[in-house]
Amino acid sequence: MWDFVQQIITHPFFGLVWGLIGFLIGNRFALDRDKRKEFNNLIEPLRHDLIGVKNHPNSKIQGSWMITVALIREKLPIWKRKGFDKAIKNYNKSRSDENMERDNMGGFTYKDTTRIVDAANEFLRYLKPK
């Protein structure tokens, strides 16, 4: 029995098969690492802005964040997308006109800033670095 196993192990085809398997496993780990890095780089600016909104609810997110949100949504697993969409709608609703009121200076402020903070927290649940 031992001679048979030793004969298989010393055969060149055995080394070739295990080398190919090792290559495929290593390639898969590298792809996963690159996907995580790409996701983290994508969420970083939006995450930073949302943390700022939590601290100062009257400030707004600058730039084209909806494009970033669309890209992030594509990178999320399918089972998380529905909740992510709901968090986006909730955040947009908390920043809508129905939550605004005119102040004495002629500008606008938000009636319920805790609603904005809660919506930002819900949104941030999906933007955790991997």
Q: Is the pLDDT of residue 28 over 80?
A: yes
Total-model pTM: 0.73
Beta bridge partners of 108: 102
Residue 7 confidence (pLDDT): 74
Confidence (pLDDT) at 102: 79
Question: Is the backbone of residue 63 left (phi > 0), alpha (psi -120 to 50) or beta?
Answer: left
Instruction: Find out whether 76 and 126 touch, Cβ atoms under 8 Å.
Output: yes
Taking only the tens place, the pLDDT of each residue in 9-18 is: 777 777 788 8
Domains in the chain: boundaries: 42-124
Residue 97 is given by DSSP the state G
Q: Both tokens of residue 44?
A: 């970083």
